[in-house]
Amino acid sequence: MNWKTIFNPFEKFDEKILLFIGLLFFVLIIPLCYWTNTCFISIYRIAPFKATHFYDLIIPTSISFAVMILTLFLLGKAFYRKTRIIDIANTVFISQIPLIILIPFENFDFIKKAIEKVVDYQSHPTEIFPFVDFAVMILFTIANIGCLIYSIVILYNGFKTATNIKKWQHIVLFCIVTFLTVIVCQIFNN
């Protein structure tokens, strides 16, 4: 395995294996979100959400993923008529794995307490600076940003592989459509 495989698994692995792994992680989202009281209101927004049943999480999460898959599929068809739905679905599902892996960390008490102590220090700066808590918060933030960037890179590379885009205009349009779809899903699922 090399760097190219890490950032673009779509060229190396069979689409059926990728779909299986993507669906497995998609199914894993629901219990993880239920456990952490969060929800995918769009593919790049995990928001606090108190669910009474798994059903409360299945609908917004499914809508977020389905809307992104459908939107990117239609955009892909406009760019390259041989675009397949399985390739776009794999792109969306696999790109979300780094974010799914981060969900359990939302429920770790030491992270929550570290963030609370840093926030408390901001309102009462006369106390001793909480260096360890600040370091935990910074590491958690860096991990979140790193996973988000990695997820976006996988989404872009998967779409590029599925649609064979090369023109900069197509890349810009992909970015705009993805951004608008994420925003629309957030508005709709709120």
Tens of each residue's pLDDT in the chain, 190 residues? 677 788 889 988 999 999 999 999 999 999 999 999 888 888 888 888 888 888 888 999 999 999 999 999 999 999 999 999 999 999 999 999 999 998 888 788 888 899 888 888 888 887 788 899 999 999 999 999 999 999 999 999 999 999 999 899 999 999 999 999 999 998 887 7
Contact between 158 and 94 under an 8 Å Cβ cutoff? The reply is yes
- DSSP assignment letter at 17: H
Q: Backbone dihedral region of 108: left (phi > 0), alpha (psi from -120 to 50 degrees) or beta?
A: beta
Please list, in sequence order, all residues whose beta carbon lies within 8 angstroms of the beta carbon of residue 149, skipping any fewer than 6 positions away. Answer: none
Domain ranges of the chain: 8-106+152-189
Provide the pLDDT for residue 4.
78
Provide the pLDDT for residue 151.
95
**Token duo for residue 169:** 């205009």
Provide the pLDDT for residue 169.
94
**Amino acid, res. 72:** L
What are the angstrom distances between the C-alpha of 152 and each of 87, 98, 99, 161? 16, 10, 10, 14
